[in-house]
Structure 1
Amino acid sequence: MYVRLFAAVWLLVCAFLAVVAWGFQAPFTYDPVGPRAYPLLLLTLMAAAALWLLCKPASEPTLPISWVLARKVALCVAALLAYAMLFEPLGFVLSTALAGFSLGLLFNGRVLLSAVSGLLMGVLLYGFFDYLLDVPLPLGVFEAFVGN
């Protein structure tokens, strides 16, 4: 029952956010698809998942939410909020590396492997977005090392 209630509320939230995202306009054209494509794509995927949760057969028993799971969800949300807050000041590479590291540890990863994967994710995604897709990303603390 709680899953269907959550799915219904989340579907309404997705619809509201889609209306907000539809109005995104850029003062100048820097991207061929515009600023609304990415949020609308994510909202469509989330709405599809919410519809599936809402309409799936209830033949499977639902497990009660444990405190361990609730703690992990809260820490995951806190890590993603910290990522959003640190994105501009620290830059894409460092904030993505820290988020990847902390989420790796949260899901029981080893310290060294979480650090390496977080760093690789930050550097490789920066290269992918900045050099291949031409999407400018903030450098943050590395801005002093790059002369433009």
Structure 2
Amino acid sequence: MSDRIFAGIWLLLCVGGLMVAWQIHSEYSYEPVGPRPFPVGILGLMLFCSVALLLRKPDAVQWPHRRVLQRLLVMVIVLLMYAWGFEWLGFPLATAVLTAIIGTLFGATIPAAGMSGAAMGILLWYAFDRLLDVTLPLGAWLN
């Protein structure tokens, strides 16, 4: 029952967030798509997930093992560090480190996590900066 209460509250928050996000306008066009699609897309996805959570059939709750909770805590800490160091580390390096750490949390070897992190950082930066024309920071170490 608590998951349905959470999903109902989250659904209302997502609807409110969509109404706020739809009002986002930029005074000048600095990117081809503008600032509105990203928050609308994320909130739409969260709205879909909350509806799915509301409509699913109830099952018995099984609490995760201690190891899973530790991994979740590490992931939250790494995501907070990513948000904190994003601008001065730069998108490619911060994303590479984040991807490598999350890869090791999911059982990847260190060389595989490092290579996939580096590839993800470079390819995502290229996709956003060159293909989508979204300006991302390169970091203080390149300026």
Calculate the TM-score normalised by the size of structure 2.
Answer: 0.87
Aligned equivalent of 2:79: 80
Residue 4 of structure 2 corresponds to: 4
Deviation at 1:131, TM superposition (A): 1.1
Q: Distance in 1 between matches of 2:76 and 2:10?
A: 16
The 1:7/1:66 distance shift into structure 2, 3 A limit, reads farther
Q: Does 1:27 align with 2:27?
A: yes
- Report deviation, 1:135: 1.2
What's the counterpart of residue 105 of structure 2? 106
CA deviations 1:22-56 (Å, max 9, x no partner) are 33222311223320111111110111011101111
Partner of 2:39: 39
CA, structure 1 residues 11+70, in 2 after alignment: closer, same or farther (shift >3 Å)?
farther
Structure 1 alignment gaps of length 5 or more: none
Gaps of 5+ in 2: none
Identity percentage over the alignment?
A: 38
Structure 1 consecutive aligned stretches of length 4 or more whose deviation exceeds 3 Å? none
2:96, 2:119 within 8 Å by CA — same for their partners in 1?
A: yes
Please give the per-residue CA displacement for 1:75-123, whole angstroms capped at 9, x wherever unaligned.
Answer: 2222212111111111100110011011111222211111111110000
Q: How does 1:69-148 map to 2 (within 5 A)?
A: 69-144=68-143
TM-score (norm 1): 0.85
How far does residue 141 in structure 1 lie from its aligned partner after superposition?
A: 3.4
| RMSD over equivalenced CA pairs, Å | 1.8
> Quick one: distance in 2 between partners of 1:89 and 1:8?
38
Aligned length: 143
Measure, in 2, the Cα distance between the counterparts of 1:17 and 1:25.
15
Letter in 1 for 2:82: Y
Task: Please state how far the C-alpha of 1:142 moved relative to its aligned partner.
Answer: 4.6
**Alignment of structure 1 residues 33-72 onto 2, 5 Å:** 33-58=33-58, 60-72=59-71
Distance 1:74 1:140, change over 3 A: same
